[in-house]
Amino acid sequence: MAKERLSKLQRWVLIHTYLKTVKGNLPSNWREPQAAKFAGSYDKDEEKRFRQAFFKSEILCNYFNLPFAEWAERKHLRFPWASYFRSIGEYKNNHNQAQVTLFRSLANMEKKGFIQRDGGITLTKAGKNKAEEILTRDI
């Protein structure tokens, strides 16, 4: 039974990874990371990978509600278009806490066999089944 117990975050990750990668349908209020705006400038393989995987930046901005860094805060960085989150001042603790929580949850989900992490988060067969079970149970 303990193997099947999922936290609120883990349930959210399973459901939204399923919605993005299997159904191709995310909520209308979904906030895409900055890199999504440049998806058209990638080659076809990179764009396909972006659409077929779920990314930590999507979780940080949609589950944890972390704000993106303003352009002035990131223009000096090597990849200023990438998803950088505001991690100064009042947001520093929130950002660090969210990163740790997310890392532990994803590691736990991978250990349970629900996800694979290889440049992005993808569902295993067990993960797809669990997400479908959660979605049908919640409807």
With 90 as the cut, is the pLDDT of residue 86 above it?
A: no
3-state secondary structure the chain: CCCCCCCHHHHHHHHHHHHHHHHCCCCCCCCCCHHHHCHHHCCHHHHHHHHHCECHHHHHHHCCCCCECCHHHHCCCCCCCCCCECCCCCHHHHHHHHHHHHHHHHHHHHHHCCEEECCCEEECHHHHHHHHHHHHHHC
pLDDT at residue 68, rounded to an integer = 67
pLDDT digits (tens, 9 = 90+) for 1-35: 455 789 999 999 999 999 999 998 889 898 876 65
What is the model's pTM? 0.78
Q: What is the share, in percent, of the chain residues with pLDDT greater than 90?
A: 38
